[in-house]
Structure 1
Amino acid sequence: MTNYYFECDPDELRRKGVSKESRPNPIVQMGLLQDADAVPITYRLFPGNTNDCQTMLPVLADMKRDLSLSTVTVVADKGLNSSANMAALVASGDGFVFSQSIRGTKSERALRARVLEDAGYEGNAEGTFKKKSWQGHKTVHLKAEDTASGRAEDVVLDAKYVAFWSAKYADRARFEREKTLARARELVENPGAYSRQTHFGAAKYVRGIDFDKDTGEILDAGKARELDLAAIEEDAAADGYCLIVTSRTGWTDDEIIDAYRGLWQIEESFRVAKSDIEARPVYVRTPAHIEAHFLTCYVALAILRLLQKICPGRPSAARITEDLGKVSCSRMADNWWLFDYRSELTQDLFDAVGLEHPTSCMTTAQIRSLAKRRR
């Protein structure tokens, strides 16, 4: 899941919601499915106030129908880790590999303690990675509207838990927390300069801070505040640790970890769409035009991913878009055109899709013929 902000008033599609960029603007939610090779499969747009965990099942059902798939394994971060999603996936014969929170109020204290406990871990010789796993159960709570009986009930699923610690993840967590702590110190010293939308997570490290539920402004800016040292210490203890819960109890630890680590590719797809393909800012406003804009961006992303897959060396999306953007021509004479750019990458790209690379000087007729011709 990601979202795109719009500088406009809210409407039926563009609603106020939890912005990935912590902006107060109306947003549109996008749910994207892609395969293990990072090739997009399908997407759907949702109103901006749609909860992340409510978006997966309808998109997944459409994909399975359209592609005639019998079973799939969904790999997702903790934003989609909900009881309804887990129960629905297992009931339909599908599987899940979800990240499980061990931080904050949403974490289960017993699971957190087991993850942080040294017992059972096996590490590498360099001391930069360790892992452990155990078989267990996952109790999911279903709301009344999601059960056949019409009554809320708990369902116990067979599950496997895999915990691991990575030095690289620990370094990144410390770096990100230091940035948040810098904002938290500013929030303590000058609370009036911040709101719920602009503190960017710093409030979790500050004691004595309250926000107006309607405006998001800080209440009683003159009230004494201080850093929450206990919260900082508790957060730091979990640096580098990750917990995965899966219904694929027969998979090995490495298979589960590798599947989870593949999530970086969908985050990269969103980055590519927002930057290289320029999916934002969005300069259209009607629902039909918004859908057309994102469909165009989705097709461009799919083409880029396929080019990356078949091109030697798997070049980055930025390299491909930059290099192909330079393949242009200028008029030399009445009917002659000059193509003055050619590189090893453009040659690889043309070869990969079975097209001839344009020569330096070509007539209009030759260009038209080349566009129709494949090797």
Structure 2
Amino acid sequence: MAPFLRKVKTASGATAVQIVAKEGRRNRVLEHLGSAHSEAELAALMHLGRERLHAGQQTLDLELTSAAAPSAGVLTMQHRRSRFLLEALELAWRRLGFDVVDDEAFFQLVLARLIEPTSMSDSRRVLREVGIDPVHRNTFHAALRRCAQCDYRDEIARKCFEHVWTSGDVSLVLYDVTTLYFEAENEDALRKVGYSKERRVDPQIVVGLLVDRAGFPLEIGCYEGNHAETRTIVPMIKQFQERHGLADIVVVADAGMLSMENLNAIDEAGLRFIVGSRPKKAPGDLANHFHWNGDAFTDGQLIDTITPRHGNTKPGTQRRRREPVWEREQHPGHWRAIWSYSRKRDLHAQHTLTQQENRARAVIAGDANVKGTRFGKTTAAGRIPDETSLAQARSLAGLKGYVTNIPARIMPASEVLSSYHDLWHVEQSFRMSKTDLQARPMFHRQRDAIEAHLTIVFTALAIARYLQAKTGFSIRRIIRTLKPLLEVQINIGGHLHTAADPLTDDARHILHALQTPDATGH
């Protein structure tokens, strides 16, 4: 019987391809072509086997032993790479204009951060796995130094701005801060122990991030770990404004940035702002409403009024039922305030308040051992429920406030709310940098290396955001989809043979959305 091809599963999980011949009731292995670990490798080995058979190998001397078979032709795995993944990432790099940074080592560090975030040393393994010949480890260290010396971050930030300028909207930017901790015991001039939302006591840095209303990164800043978050927004905004020569933008930030100094500084810089207000300001801001309407609100109701810049400024508007309309000249001691009421928010807040009330009563009754709790106060007679505070909290449940210096004639209240609600995009970008890109923990010690690490994360975040906007897939899903699709080159007797894994439906969607050459046929 003529020889034929056989596929056999090996103990390691690979698929061995062999040329065998039937001898009686047994199959005799004439030649072992190799073992495949992917569909592409398997396709290449099967192609090799068919060529051997079709080239007259079907008349092989059946006395040929498997040990002598390799002399008929040398087979070596020449190259394997995740072609479609690399093409997608390189395409995004070029379209965003990041190739203005002509540094192969920096480019490789950004790719590794996107594919599998790990240490700089282990990045060489990540790059080899997808078919990139990594530069030397010392070259990576040199790239970190060049990143600071040659202002790579400035170049990347300019290209990010140009991308948003041509395809998005830079009239409104979103700002937030986070902390990145270090696996280190001792502090230094930059890495310091400070306030951590996760209650960590490791040295950390404070990172500010400025994005457009869709979450695309525009600017990143680094501050000492004990630096107050409220003191980061003004330097970041001024840096962004000066870099791009902007005179008129709207800055949106959460209530954590609400301070008299911040708002005055932003206003004096000729910029406009929208920040969240604190619930404790509601009784004063809405005194007129409470005077005429009590604590009755309708679902979706918006109250456009004013709020004092200083705590000792009193609006004095209760003589009229109508809320004052904020204008800079008419209300120099105030900002514009907008309060919205949501029935859904109210129900959620009431449920939380009930739990807090029950907890306070349990503590007072001695049924729970808690050091402190809301809605409990100490008097000469002992611990009692704080009914006044509880009643006020219930009357304000469902309210959310916003402070701005944009007059109503320019931006209606509904647009102020929708602009503020875009803040989730900057929070999402921070989550991406911490999870998908694993910006923390950091292992660098010197400031230049730390700043370079942030530049790499910033660049990778921009590419991830670009790919997600184009495909509708998360960066993690894009990597998982394209990375396993290998292109393999096998050298058979001096001739190169190429085979590739078949595209999945998700892979076709990604390539089509990015309009890669494979998707367009060019």
Matched, 1:21 2:181: no
**Aligned equivalents of 1:251, 1:339: Cα separation in 2:** 55
Post-superposition Cα deviations, 1:127-177, rounded to whole Å, max 9, x if no partner, equal: 64222212x364259xxxxxxxxxxxxx93553221102234335545666
Equivalence map 1:186-205=2 (5 Å): 189-191=368-370, 203-204=373-374
Equivalent in 123, 132, 142 of residue 303 of structure 2: 132
Residue 285 (structure 2) aligns with:
111
Distance change in 2, residues 1:348/1:108 (3 Å)? same
Distance change in 2, residues 1:161/1:94 (3 Å)? same
**Aligned equivalents of 2:388, 2:475: Cα separation in 1:** 43
Residue 40 (structure 2) aligns with:
none
- Point out where structure 1 has 5 or more consecutive residues left out of the alignment: 142-154, 193-201, 209-223, 359-372
Counterpart of 1:19 in 2: which secondary structure? coil
Residue 164 (structure 1) aligns with:
340
Equivalence map 1:91-240=2 (5 Å): 91-103=268-280, 107=281, 109-111=283-285, 113=287, 119=293, 128-134=299-305, 136=306, 138-140=308-310, 156=332, 159-173=335-349, 189-191=368-370, 203-204=373-374, 207=377, 230-240=388-398
Residue 87 (structure 1) aligns with:
264
Residue 470 (structure 2) aligns with:
310
Name the % identity: 25
Question: 1:181: how far off?
Answer: 7.5
Residue 511 (structure 2) aligns with:
350
Residue 218 (structure 1) aligns with:
none
**Aligned equivalents of 2:484, 2:433: Cα separation in 1:** 21
Residue 12 (structure 1) aligns with:
189
Distance change in 2, residues 1:163/1:350 (3 Å)? same
Question: 1:244: how far off?
Answer: 0.7
| Larger relative contact order (Cα-Cα within 8 Å, sequence gap ≥ 6) | 2
**Aligned equivalents of 1:323, 1:114: Cα separation in 2:** 58
Counterpart of 1:89 in 2: which secondary structure? helix
Question: 1:262: how far off?
Answer: 0.7
Question: 1:230: how far off?
Answer: 4.9
Which is greater in Rg?
2
Counterpart of 1:305 in 2: which secondary structure? helix
Equivalence map 1:271-282=2 (5 Å): 271-282=431-442
Question: 1:330: how far off?
Answer: 7.0
The answer to whether the 8 Å contact 2:254/2:275 transfers is yes
Counterpart of 1:88 in 2: which secondary structure? helix
Residue 31 (structure 1) aligns with:
208
Question: 1:63: how far off?
Answer: 0.9
Equivalent in 447, 455, 458 of residue 298 of structure 1: 458
Equivalence map 1:325-364=2 (5 Å): 326-329=483-486, 333-334=490-491, 339-340=500-501, 342-357=503-518
The answer to whether the 8 Å contact 1:121/1:131 transfers is no
**Aligned equivalents of 1:330, 1:182: Cα separation in 2:** 63
**Aligned equivalents of 2:204, 2:383: Cα separation in 1:** 32
Counterpart of 1:259 in 2: which secondary structure? helix
Equivalent in 477, 500, 513 of residue 319 of structure 1: 477
- Point out where structure 2 has 5 or more consecutive residues left out of the alignment: 1-176, 312-330
The answer to whether the 8 Å contact 1:158/1:247 transfers is no
Counterpart of 1:279 in 2: which secondary structure? coil
User: 2:507 corresponds to which letter in structure 1?
Assistant: T
Distance change in 2, residues 1:116/1:25 (3 Å)? farther
**Aligned equivalents of 2:333, 2:421: Cα separation in 1:** 24
Residue 448 (structure 2) aligns with:
288
**Aligned equivalents of 1:289, 1:265: Cα separation in 2:** 28
**Aligned equivalents of 2:296, 2:521: Cα separation in 1:** 54
Post-superposition Cα deviations, 1:47-67, rounded to whole Å, max 9, x if no partner, equal: 111111110111111111222
What TM-score, normalized by structure 1, do the two folds share? 0.70
Residue 69 (structure 1) aligns with:
246
Alignment: residue pair count: 314
User: 1:349 corresponds to which letter in structure 2?
Assistant: I
Larger helix share, 1 or 2: 2
The answer to whether the 8 Å contact 1:86/1:140 transfers is no
The answer to whether the 8 Å contact 2:278/2:401 transfers is yes
Q: Which moved more, 1:109-118 or 1:182-191?
A: 182-191
Post-superposition Cα deviations, 1:216-275, rounded to whole Å, max 9, x if no partner, equal: xxxxxxxx8777565455434433211111111131011111111111111111112111
User: 1:34 corresponds to which letter in structure 2?
Assistant: V
Distance change in 2, residues 1:207/1:70 (3 Å)? same
Question: 1:343: how far off?
Answer: 3.9
**Aligned equivalents of 2:425, 2:470: Cα separation in 1:** 17
**Aligned equivalents of 1:346, 1:91: Cα separation in 2:** 50
The answer to whether the 8 Å contact 1:18/1:49 transfers is yes
**Aligned equivalents of 1:33, 1:88: Cα separation in 2:** 17
**Aligned equivalents of 1:162, 1:302: Cα separation in 2:** 33
Residue 219 (structure 1) aligns with:
none
The answer to whether the 8 Å contact 1:75/1:259 transfers is yes
